[in-house]
């Protein structure tokens, strides 16, 4: 009881968010039922009632999807591309934040930050257009290669190379913006720690290694876990806009596959079924990442 007398403000503070979560996050989960039914919008009195009124089919929807070999290929691609991006794109914003931190000229620093976070606001349609311009067979990069006497590379139509195009364009677009979290975290590191390190003879590099980086660990852990959870839903917008039939083999991911399958059909069931599958896997991944972080750094997000 003594606990409650002291702690009740905490529960009050949580109230709005809790209300929000129940209404906007938990209630709609009722719609997950669509994944187990033969759903049609007009089955019941209205679309919601239709969920209950539609026929229960158990795991049929899942079975239908999994039996398609193309889906399994898309699944594999999703993981491969997701892992590739995680490994390469995760450290970049951290590095950027660390580097920018070393820049002493205030205006330069501010200017660079602003420019770097710009591409985040371009839609993928625009970014795709930019990369097409540069990477097409008659584009800048290939002209450059030709000048050097090398063979042209078909960036956008070569399956293996294309995956790297996805990674690089994602890096270009998001690094700056993703660095903001780290920049904010760095700015709140107490300067006394730096002063102490300097007295001990640490140069800039050492200070970064022994003060900045360790202080960033909590942020890094959180971001890592969150990013892991997003692998599956990652950037299908990007792929949808940038891919073409020639690279389906290596670049078709779950979401793009679902998109193509659903054309012309208003088939909600497919979307919800795959979505549920994605959610379950993502959840597992997040828990896994959490565990990993705990083992390595002793801290967790949860």
What's the min distance (Å) between Cβ of 14 and another protein?
Answer: 5
Residues 142-181 vs another protein: string with x where CB under 8 A?
------------x-xx--------------x--xx---xx
Select from 7, 59, 150, 291 the one that contacts another protein (CB under 8 A).
Answer: 7
Tokens 């070999």 belong to: 69
Tokens 């795959």 belong to: 274
73/282 with CB nearer another protein: 282
Residues 64-93 that bind another protein (CB under 8 A): none
Residues 240-269 vs another protein: string with x where CB under 8 A?
----xxx-xx----------xx-xxxx-x-
Residues 208-227 that bind another protein (CB under 8 A): 208, 218-219, 221-222, 226
Residues 95-114 vs another protein: string with x where CB under 8 A?
xx-xxxxxx------xxxxx
75/156 with CB nearer another protein: 156
Question: How many residues are listed for the chain in this entry?
Answer: 302
What's the min distance (Å) between Cβ of 161 and another protein?
Answer: 13
Residues 8-47 vs another protein: string with x where CB under 8 A?
-xxx-xx-xxx-xx-xxxxxxxxxx-x-----xxx---xx
163 to 153, 196, 247: CA distances (angstroms): 14, 45, 9
Select from 53, 57, 292, 301 the one that contacts another protein (CB under 8 A).
Answer: 301
What's the min distance (Å) between Cβ of 80 and another protein?
Answer: 19
> How many chain residues are in contact with another protein, going by CB under 8 A?
110
User: Residue 153, CB half-sphere, CA atoms under 13 Å: how many?
Assistant: 16
Residues 268-287 that bind another protein (CB under 8 A): 268, 271-272, 275, 279, 282-283, 286
16/149 with CB nearer another protein: 16
């Amino acid at each position: 009881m003594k606990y409650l007398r002291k702690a009740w403000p905490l529960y009050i503070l949580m109230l709005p968010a809790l209300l929000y979560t129940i209404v906007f996050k938990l209630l709609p989960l009722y719609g997950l039922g669509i994944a187990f039914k033969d759903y049609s919008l007009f089955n019941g009195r209205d679309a919601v009632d239709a969920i209950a009124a539609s026929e229960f089919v158990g795991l049929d929807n899942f079975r239908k999807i999994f039996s398609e070999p193309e889906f399994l290929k898309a699944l594999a691609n999703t993981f491969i591309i997701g892992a590739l991006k995680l490994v390469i794109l995760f450290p970049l914003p951290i590095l950027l934040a660390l580097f920018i931190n070393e820049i002493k000229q205030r205006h330069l620093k501010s200017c660079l930050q602003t420019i770097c976070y710009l591409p985040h606001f371009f839609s993928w349609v625009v970014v795709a257009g930019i990369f097409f311009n540069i990477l097409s067979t008659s584009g800048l990069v290939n002209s450059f290669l030709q000048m050097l006497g090398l063979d042209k590379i078909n960036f956008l139509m070569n399956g293996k190379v294309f995956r790297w195009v996805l990674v690089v364009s994602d890096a270009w677009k998001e690094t700056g913006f993703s660095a903001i979290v780290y920049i904010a975290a760095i700015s709140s590191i107490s300067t006394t720690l730096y002063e102490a390190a300097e007295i001990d003879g640490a140069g800039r590099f050492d200070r970064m290694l022994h003060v900045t980086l360790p202080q960033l660990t909590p942020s890094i852990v959180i971001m890592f876990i969150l990013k892991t959870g997003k692998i599956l839903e990652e950037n299908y917008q990007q792929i949808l806009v940038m891919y073409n039939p020639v690279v389906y083999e290596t670049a078709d991911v779950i979401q793009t596959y679902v998109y193509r399958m659903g054309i012309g059909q208003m088939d909600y069931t497919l979307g919800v079924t795959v979505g549920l599958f994605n959610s379950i896997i993502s959840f597992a991944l997040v828990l896994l990442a959490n565990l990993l972080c705990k083992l390595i750094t002793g801290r967790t997000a949860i």
